[in-house]
Structures are given as C-alpha cells and as structure tokens.
Amino acid sequence: MSKSDIRQYTLEQVRALKSETDWKALKDSPPYDGEQEFDVDWSKARIGLSEPKTAVSIRLDPDVLAYFKRQGKGYQTRMNAVLRAYMEAMEKKG
C-alpha cells in the first residue's frame, strides 16, 4: 500500500459522503447464496482513527488466509476487526 492510498477523514466528512449504494436494488435482490457462513452485523462498527498497527509474523491455515484474501483489498484490516471483536467478546465474558 502506498501513501497515496491512505486517506484520513473527519467524522463530519464521512457523514457528508454520498452513498453509492442502490438500497432499493439491494433490498429487491434475491438472498445471497454464496459461501457466506454467517451474517455480519456492522451496526456496531466504529469510525475513527486507530493507533498505528504493529507488524507481526503469523502462521495461518491456508484456507483461512485465502478466505479473507478473496474478499479483496483490506483483508488484513478485516482480519484485525474479527480478532478485535473476539477479544472484546472475551473481555465482556470476563
């Protein structure tokens, strides 16, 4: 990723962005029948600047890595989000 790919926005700028989602077409489309194993609830997603990430070397099962990579650009960020959700759930169980 180059520095030209990284953009920072304020919360006000994000809220002012025009949605490019065709919500009516999405609502009227048939259910997704791909390999999705579970529904993701993004309602609790947070927008904001995060701390700088720490580079690590990690060993993953090939199929796990392939799953996230198939979803396209940003797969490492999605993996981090899944790990964060797990961590927060475990902390709540306490």
> Over its length of 94 residues, how does the chain's per-residue pLDDT go in tens digits?
566 678 888 888 888 887 788 888 888 887 766 665 667 787 887 777 777 889 999 999 999 999 999 999 999 999 999 999 999 999 988 7
According to the model, what pLDDT value does residue 60 have?
96
CA nearest neighbour of 36 among 83, 80, 75, 71: 71
Say if residues 68 and 75 touch (Cβ distance below 8 Å). Answer: yes
User: Would you kindly state where each structural domain of the chain is located, as residue ranges?
Assistant: 3-93
CA dihedral 73, 13, 46, 68 (to 10 degrees): -10
- Dihedrals φ, ψ of 64, to 5°? -65, -50
According to the model, what pLDDT value does residue 38 have?
66
- 8: its two tokens: 């920072």
According to the model, what pLDDT value does residue 7 have?
81
